[in-house]
Amino acid sequence: MNKKIGVKILGTGSYFPKKVLTNTDLEKMVDTSDEWIRTRTGIKERRISEKNETTSDLAYLASLEALKSSNISPEQIDLILVATITPDMFFPSTACFLQKKLGLNFVPVFDLSAACSGFIYGIATARAFIESGLYKTVLLVGAESLSKITDWTDRNTCVLFGDGAGAMLLSASEENDNILSTYLGADGAYSELLFIPGGGSANPATVETVNQKLHTMKMQGKDVFKAAVPKMALAARKALELSGKKLENINLFIPHQANMRIIEAVAKKLDISMDRVFVNIHKTGNISSATTITALDEAIKTGRVKSGDLVEMVAFGGGFTWGASVVRI
Ligand code: UT7
């Protein structure tokens, strides 16, 4: 019988745009306060891309970092996946633009749309491709320019989001199996609680859709909050079960960074003390599919996790979608 193909995490990288938007800056734009944003969300500042800076630009710079930390040459990549809800264009995929920037003509590429759970969906997809033997080395990126789909006059949403990208290189391995489990879920019944109504086939772009601001994010925050906590706890438990590990074996939990109160409520539900939970929302805001991977990259770079440690990543987002993955670093 053939030996099972393992999946090794070769390295990670991230990139954030230079421009910082603080809560104090936002006070000058909408009727809000630093105090409200900090106490209701935990966010102090977020990064904002330049007008001419695209999602694939952020993805490219994060990918270069991941390549550096992986110590492989770009030519070894044989599949590129980009999780994003803020593609450069409707089509071609952002993965196509990234491929061009990396100079990897002919490598197959595609985008994945699962909102804030995008990177977890991406890990499951990359793992399945590698384990099937179809591809050996996958570049997986979570990249977002949420500032470009934000209504900067809507205080309910504009204080929450930011831009950034994270990347991971995964490869087939006989010795390592770093992805211990992936668990995915979704419920389309709630699709209109967090969405962009305009621009697609339901409401193609017209002068009216622009005037009605249908091309920016709409969210029923309270309802999303209420669903996020139990679903993230459920996903964390399921992925743990599938990994065969116990809660006490996990060195670090990396939850999606949407709201500090959601993170604390999930930790409480799982009975995990906050010193085992990674938080960087104060400086990033919510960057959707890029949150878990940029957080993991920071945890590795700052020594918060070391080689051999077990990490559980958990996410929840528009769709609704949710998912979790237990990985060994
Ligand atoms: O990433 C994917 C998923 N996204 C999330 O998980 C986000 C989930 N939702 C949330 O994080 C929270 O619901 C929010 C941060 C969006 C809102 O917090 P909340 O505690 O649920 O506040 P709320 O929407 O119930 O609003 C409370 C009050 C309202 O005023 P009234 O009606 O009580 O007078 C809002 O108008 O706070 C007001 N408010 C604000 N005030 C100052 C809403 N946004 C702001 C603001 N500044 N930026």
Rounded to the nearest angstrom, the distance between the alpha carbon of 222 and the centre of ligand 1 is: 7
User: Which residue, chain included where needed, has tokens 């391995």?
Assistant: 173
Kindly indicate the confidence band of residue 4, based on its pLDDT and cuts at 50, 70 and 90.
confident
Q: State mean pLDDT over 287-293.
A: 98
Per the structure block, which two tokens stand in for 188?
């389309």
DSSP H/E element including 166: strand 163-173
Q: State mean pLDDT over 12-22.
A: 98
Catalytic residues: 116, 256, 286
Does 292 contact ligand 1 (Cβ within 6 A)? no
Distances (CA, A) of 48 to 97, 144, 221, 286: 20, 10, 22, 12
Residue 268: per-residue pLDDT: 98
Does 114 contact ligand 1 (Cβ within 6 A)? no
Does 40 contact ligand 1 (Cβ within 6 A)? yes
Pocket test for ligand 1, best of 22, 151, 222, 281 (most atoms within 8 A of CB): 222
The CATH architecture to which 180-328 belongs is 3-Layer(aba) Sandwich (3.40)
Does 264 contact ligand 1 (Cβ within 6 A)? no
Rounded to the nearest angstrom, the distance between the alpha carbon of 246 and the centre of ligand 1 is: 35
Q: State mean pLDDT over 247-268.
A: 98
Kindly indicate the confidence band of residue 295, based on its pLDDT and cuts at 50, 70 and 90.
very high
Does 222 contact ligand 1 (Cβ within 6 A)? yes
- Reported as a single tens digit per residue, the pLDDT across 83-119 is 999 999 999 999 999 999 999 999 999 999 999 999 9
Would you list the domain boundaries of the chain? 6-176, 180-328
Rounded to the nearest angstrom, the distance between the alpha carbon of 154 and the centre of ligand 1 is: 11
Q: State mean pLDDT over 158-174.
A: 97
Residue 220 carries which DSSP code? Answer: -
How far is residue 75's CA from residue 94's CA, in Å, rounded to a whole number? 19
N-terminal to C-terminal alpha carbon distance within the chain:
28
- Identify whether the C-beta of residue 240 lies closer than 8 Å to the C-beta of residue 180: no
Q: Is the pLDDT of residue 195 over 90?
A: yes
Please name the residue whose Cα sits nearest to atom 18 of ligand 1: 40
User: Which atom of ligand 1 has the smallest separation from the CA of 318?
Assistant: 2
Kindly indicate the confidence band of residue 189, based on its pLDDT and cuts at 50, 70 and 90.
very high
Q: Is the pLDDT of residue 2 over 80?
A: no
Q: For all residues of the chain together, what is the average pLDDT?
A: 97
Same fold, 6-176 and 180-328: yes
Does 243 contact ligand 1 (Cβ within 6 A)? no
DSSP H/E element including 70: helix 55-70
Max CA distance (Å), the chain: 66
CATH fold for the domain made of 6-176? Peroxisomal Thiolase; Chain A, domain 1 (3.40.47)
Kindly indicate the confidence band of residue 3, based on its pLDDT and cuts at 50, 70 and 90.
confident
Please name the residue whose Cα sits nearest to atom 22 of ligand 1: 222
Instruction: Decide: pTM greater than 0.85.
Output: yes
Q: Is the pLDDT of residue 1 over 60?
A: no
Q: State mean pLDDT over 214-238.
A: 98
Share of the chain above pLDDT 70, in %: 99
Please name the residue whose Cα sits nearest to atom 36 of ligand 1: 156
Q: State mean pLDDT over 193-201.
A: 97
Q: Is the pLDDT of residue 202 over 80?
A: yes
Does 156 contact ligand 1 (Cβ within 6 A)? yes
